[in-house]
A = this chain, B = another copy of it.
Amino acid sequence: MPFAPLQNDCFLRACLRQATDYTPVWLMRQAGRYLPEYRASRAQAGSFMGLATHPDYATEVTLQPLERYALDAAILFSDILTVPDAMGLGLSFAQGEGPKFEKTVRTEADVAALAVPDLEKLRYVFDAVTSIRRALAGRVPLIGFSGSPWTLACYMVEGGGSDDYRAVKTLMYRRPDLMHRILAINADAVAAYLNAQIEAGAQAVMVFDSWGGVLADGNFQSFSLAYTHRVLEQLKPTHEGAPIPRIVFTKGGGLWLDEMKALDCNVLGLDWTVNLGRARAQVGEGQNGKALQGNIDPNVLFAEPAQIDAEVARVLHSFGPPHRGPGWGATHIFNLGHGISQHTPPEHVAALVDAVHAHSRRLRTAA
């Protein structure tokens, strides 16, 4: 049974640098703890992974923010660490804490034991993708995603989050050979994982390089960017005749935009430290330019609605005059510069989404 035809293609058009009537908006981690209905689902499912591993729950929570807000895309409800979990590292989320792995990857023997996982172990993700795509019934496109090879490696070596990345960087500086081996395996695993999401129904894919920005200049290029490139070159560019846009988001990567311009992707995600106008001039224009996604500070959502409105306008203006076609040009997908905080008042998200749509329509008629 084919999927229902897409009713709102604003996000996909902007990814492909085609003109749109307004600036599309979605929010990283839009299905999440700030929503009371999400917390209720999670309580029912028993845990975060209980939600992620059951396609019915994953579908339910993916759609929750769409019921409240006029978002222009949905994103698969899952975690970036499903891939190392499928590699046998044993992922868990303790209450109120970040992710933890039972096993870490630090020694020659650990690395030798590492392999691209059997994708059957990730079947629950692909089933969720198909289930969500059906439930969306063409309302908005569905984004699939994965962590970047480097970001996955950070968690695999550290065994969880880290303040200083001491374990992963010690391995990188002492045993670059082992680190390159981990990254190569991660890249091939991520590529297979994203291709399977595309086959299951994802209409765009995003690589989250959440920790690329902790690397030194030079090391970012060799240990993160090179493996993001290795992922991208293995991805299916189209599926059933439709192009599948690729988004790469490197938190803290603003200094390396020139190098990221060479990536074979359509969209670069930016955090709030980046000036959108400068980024547009640097990588947004011309035949090989990228669409830009971002980049309001999620903490803006703690201000009053009128202040949120003003900050949204500021971000839209910093990107500058919208592309108004025909053909391709610089485009902007509005998003946060990082995941939404669990403490966000839900009604403030409505203020943000509505402000993006209203101001960006106005910009197009005024231009």
Q: A residues near B, CB below 8 A? A: 164-166, 169-170, 173-174, 213, 215-220, 252, 254-255, 272-275, 295-297, 299-300, 302-304, 307, 311, 314, 318, 337, 341, 343
Contacts and interface: CB of A to CB of B under 8 A. Distances in A.
A216 B173 contact: no
Contacts of A303: 170, 173-174
A272 B295 CA distance: 23
22 contacts: A164-B299, A166-B299, A166-B343, A169-B297, A173-B302, A174-B302, A213-B273, A215-B272, A215-B273, A216-B272, A216-B273, A217-B272, A217-B275, A218-B275, A218-B318, A219-B297, A220-B273, A254-B254, A255-B255, A255-B273, A255-B274, A255-B275
A7 to B, nearest CB: 33
A339 B322 CA distance: 43
B217 A273 contact: yes
Contacts of A295: 216
A166 B341 contact: yes
| Closest 9 pairs between A and B when the two form their complex, measured CB to CB | A169-B299, A173-B303, A216-B272, A170-B302, A217-B275, A216-B297, A254-B255, A174-B303, A173-B300
Stoichiometry (number of copies)? 2
A304 to B, nearest CB: 6
A174 B299 CA distance: 10
Contact of A341 (B164, B213, B219): B164
Nearest to A164: B341
B173 A311 contact: yes
